[in-house]
Amino acid sequence: MKTNQILVRYGELSTKGKNRSSFIGRLRDNVRQTFSDLKQIRIKAERDRMFITSDNEQELAQVIERLPFVFGIQSFSPVTACNLDMDMMKKTAEVVIAKLDNTDKSFKVSVKRPFKAFPHDKLEIMKEISTYVLKEFPNLKVQMKNPEIDLKIEVREEAVYMMAEVIKGAGGLPVGASGKALLMLSGGLDSPVAGYHMLKRGVRLELIHFFSPPFTNDRAKEKVYDLAERLSQFGSSVNLHIIPFTNLQQEVHKQVPDNITMTSTRRMMMRVADLVLAETNCRAIVTGESLGQVASQTLESLQAINAVTNTPILRPLIATDKLEIIETAQQIDTYDISIRPFEDCCTIFTPANPKIRPKLEKVEYYENFVSFDELIKKAVAERETIKFPRTKVDQFEGLL
């Protein structure tokens, strides 16, 4: 007997009708990307489920560890195979059950028998295996409806397959199934969580970060690198665009009254993002804004910021409170990165008394004293683009 296969159950893909095959193909590609460093795995995608196989135990352990972060998967189970022999099937069932918490649990055996030439019918298999398992694990009790342990047995021509452990998947849609958007990644708590929610809905991400040296330092940039690396672990690579923002930000502070510089700065970011979006074939801009959390996130501020672009702006956290955002950040392992004490360009230049209800006409009036167009184009042209996940060579580049 050997455990060398993972059975993957699809999530929302089961509702996609005629588009089902394209969603399954996208999920297969994302799984292949996630495990591109594992050389012995084989992936087979069928209409109702996917199989990931490897004879390398270490690789299979890596699959089980990483698969819960790939969107589009409802659940998955390690599968143990054995020969077409009743005594071997009993021993295999014992091994499968022994790996689970089986103390005082309810239990049943479910059997599929597509190989009709097997000498034992379904009821006989259920009776033989159940009797043996209950003898080996007397704390189990039989329960046919909604048991805590459901030992599934499938008898095929080449082997018998068994599984009982069901591991929860990430759910959602395969990344890339819903198009591509540009995430404004600040380095704080909110934007990575916003990115996570968009990835879960099948949106492939490009990332944009505004960097203002010498006011922000390389440690702040490295923090953003680490967040980008984390976001690339959910089934798809991402590109991070680092925008040199110092000149634009300083020009805003020269031309615009201090109490509305935050609004104007966000408007400049949107104008930069629009140009990057056009070059990367994205369909929307994603932000981590939550209504009323700070001065730039009131309805009046958001209206003034939106007015500078016709691009759809998606705000998945708009009705989410900070505690909920923190909880999600902890679940997806971005919290400890985001709270590192290295400030981004928005934090460094925050005015003492920002307007919480800026008037659009006043913001536009002060911005009209100077043309920002050339500064915006220059920032986009001089941006640095880095692909994640980084290889080990990428991570250590520049240290020698």
- Binding-site positions read 184-185, 209-210, 266, 288, 297
Please name the residues in contact with 179: beta carbons below 8 A apart, sequence gap of 6 or more: 203, 204, 283
Nearest to 71 by CA among 166, 172, 167: 172
Quick count: other Cβ atoms within 10 Å of Cβ 294? 15
50, amino acid identity: M
What's the rounded Cα separation, in Å, for the pair 33 and 203? 16
Q: Which two tokens stand for residue 269?
A: 């970011």
Picking from 142, 166, 164, the residue whose alpha carbon sits closest to that of residue 153 is: 164
**The residue to which tokens 């007397």 are assigned:** 138
> In sequence order, which ranges of the chain are alpha helices (DSSP H)?
20-34, 57-66, 86-98, 122-136, 190-200, 218-231, 246-255, 261-280, 299-306, 322-331, 335-338, 345-348, 360-367, 373-381, 392-396
DSSP state letter for 92: H
Those residues whose C-beta lies under 8 Å from the C-beta of residue 87, and which sit 6 or more positions away, are none
As a whole number of angstroms, the distance between CA 333 and CA 336 comes to 7
> Do 240 and 385 meet the contact criterion of CB atoms below 8 Å apart?
yes
Q: How many Å apart are CA 234 and CA 34, to the nearest integer?
A: 8
Binding-site residue ranges for ATP = 184-185, 209-210, 266, 288, 297
Q: Are 97 and 164 in contact (CB under 8 A)?
A: yes
Asked if 272 and 280 count as a contact pair (C-beta separation under 8 A), the reply is no
